[in-house]
Amino acid sequence: MKTATIRIQRDDEAALQNAAKGFLAAWKTGEAQDHVFSFASPEQLFTVLTPKRWTLIETLQSLGPSTYRALAAALSRDVKRVHEDAATLIEWGLIEVNEDARIHVPFDIIHADFDLRSVA
């Protein structure tokens, strides 16, 4: 089962340390580690994962590998706009294009992990 974790990590040093730990674990075990998408702020997260893009991911997970047209029809959206949103998600690695030129979500589970804490 392939899992992705989405997190907000404001501390660049901690983000690099976590990435290094994942790399070392993969190197030592020879096994792929869970993929982590780290965002520097809630603003960055919500710029990439807009409500329409999140719905696109959910719909694509339920459809399986799909053409842009079929996905747009399932979402009741314009193909051009779906293509634009998919391009952003592909750029970030949240969805991929397979050998049949169909887009798909390469993760069985996408887990969001972040806290909102008071300053005081």
Helical ranges in the chain per DSSP H: 12-29, 42-48, 51-63, 68-75, 79-92
Cα–Cα dist 39/26, whole Å: 22
Task: Tell me how crowded residue 14 is: count the other CB atoms within 10 A of its CB.
Answer: 11
List Cα–Cα distances, 96 to 8, 28, 30, 93, 112, in angstroms.
22, 27, 23, 7, 19
State the pLDDT confidence band at 23, using cuts at 50, 70 and 90: low
- Which domains does the chain possess? 3-113 (1.10.10.10)
SS3 5: strand
**Rg (the chain; Cα; Å):** 16
Per-residue pLDDT for 106 more than 80?
A: yes
For 28-71, what is each residue's pLDDT tens digit?
A: 666 655 788 888 888 999 999 999 999 999 999 999 999 999 99
Claim: this prediction has a pTM higher than 0.85: no
